[in-house]
């Protein structure tokens, strides 16, 4: 397997020579759309998040308050995701992260801009990888997504504010609590008190453990208002049935 930019370079060459096929279903994408990596049927199949909790957008339980965002630090004001992590969105994330398709970051940013209202202000801060992991992959998919979204929304991106100091082990932990214990202290932030609102950017939101840990580091660094935007979100139902499988790995 060729990591990072090597794979991306091969991919560009292949796309120059061959017509595109959709990363989600494999059908040929219309030749007059040379930059399209996802066919219109798969785009249509991606389901946006609608309604739900006003703070975290998660579907509300039949009775009582939202439990998904209950353990969040109070400075983490809101989280939005464009679409549910159904097979089509899952294929986009997989190709973006592991198959050398960095150009899919722009597709994901376009979906976010389509379904999520642009915040009035804020600095976009991608969830960092450890230096080792970023070197191996050749890029950080969350940083690519933040830059693509920053262009669309006209908001600044800061890739140095938040640093990942350790991996936090495998994210295959069984429960949200175990995942949080696993990833706690994985991030450090430099002084963020001057920034009015930080918007954390990531590809997928699963249990929220990564988001809580990153927000906690930003709050420690003096930031008092944090929001979060991801391209996709694991549905609560899927999270239950896949709790013991590979789940979402960075
Ligand atoms: Zn398709
Ligand atoms: Zn909530």
Cα-to-chain-centroid distance, residue 31: 29
Q: What percent of the chain has pLDDT over 90?
A: 63
Ligand 1 center from residue 198 Cα (angstroms): 34
Task: Please give the model's pTM, rounded to 2 decimal places.
Answer: 0.86
Ligand 1 center from residue 224 Cα (angstroms): 41
Ligand 2 center from residue 150 Cα (angstroms): 25
Of 68-72, 74-78, 129-133, 190-194, minimum mean pLDDT range: 190-194
Ligand nearest to the CA of 68: 2
Q: Are strands 162-164 and 187-189 parallel, antiparallel or unpaired?
A: antiparallel
CA separation for the pair 218, 195 (Å, rounded) = 10
Domains in the chain: boundaries: 48-241
Residue in this structure with the two tokens 């994901």, named with its chain if needed: 108
The answer, yes or no, to whether residue 114 has pLDDT greater than 70, is yes
Residue in this structure with the two tokens 């801009």, named with its chain if needed: 113
Ligand 1 center from residue 44 Cα (angstroms): 9
Cα-to-chain-centroid distance, residue 150: 14
Q: What percent of the chain has pLDDT over 70?
A: 84
Ligand nearest to the CA of 64: 2
Of 8-17, 54-63, 77-86, 102-111, minimum mean pLDDT range: 8-17
Ligand 2 center from residue 57 Cα (angstroms): 6
- Residue range 48-241, CATH number: 3.40.50
* Full 3-state SS string of the chain: CCCHHHHHHHHHHHHHHCCCECCCCCCECCCCCCCCCCCHHHHHHCCECCCCCCCCCCCCCCCCCCCCCCCCCCCEEEEEEEEECCHHHHHHHHHHHHCCCCCHHHHHHHHHHHHCCCCCCCEEEECCCCHHHHHHHCCCHHHHHHHHHHHHHCCCECCCCEEECCCCCCCCCCCHHHHHHHHCCCEEECCCCCCCCEEEEEEEECCCHHHHHHHHHHHHCCCCCEEEEEEEECCHHHHHHCCCCCCCCC
Ligand 2 center from residue 83 Cα (angstroms): 16
The answer, yes or no, to whether residue 239 has pLDDT greater than 70, is no
């Amino acid at each position: 397997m060729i990591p990072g930019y090597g794979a991306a370079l091969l991919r560009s060459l292949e796309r120059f020579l061959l017509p595109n096929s959709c990363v989600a279903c494999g059908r040929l994408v219309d030749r007059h759309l040379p930059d399209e990596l996802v066919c219109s049927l798969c785009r249509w199949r991606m389901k946006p998040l609608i309604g739900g909790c006003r703070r975290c957008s998660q579907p509300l339980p039949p009775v009582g308050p939202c439990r998904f965002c209950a353990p969040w630090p109070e400075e983490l004001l809101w989280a939005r995701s464009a679409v549910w992590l159904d097979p089509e969105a899952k294929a986009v994330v997989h190709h973006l992260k592991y198959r050398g398709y960095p150009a899919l970051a722009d597709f994901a940013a376009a979906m976010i801009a389509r379904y999520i209202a642009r915040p009035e202000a804020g600095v976009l801060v991608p969830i960092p990888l450890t230096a080792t992991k970023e070197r191996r992959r050749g890029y950080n998919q969350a940083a690519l997504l933040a830059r693509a979204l920053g262009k669309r929304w006209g908001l600044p991106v800061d890739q140095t504010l938040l640093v990942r100091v350790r991996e936090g082990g495998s994210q295959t932990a069984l429960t949200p609590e175990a995942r949080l214990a696993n990833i706690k202290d994985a991030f450090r932030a430099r002084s963020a008190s001057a920034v009015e609102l930080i918007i954390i950017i990531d590809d997928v939101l699963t249990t929220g453990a990564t988001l809580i840990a990153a927000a906690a580091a930003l709050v420690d660094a003096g930031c008092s208002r944090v929001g979060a935007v991801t391209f996709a979100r694991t549905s609560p139902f899927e999270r239950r049935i896949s709790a013991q499988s590979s789940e979402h790995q960075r």
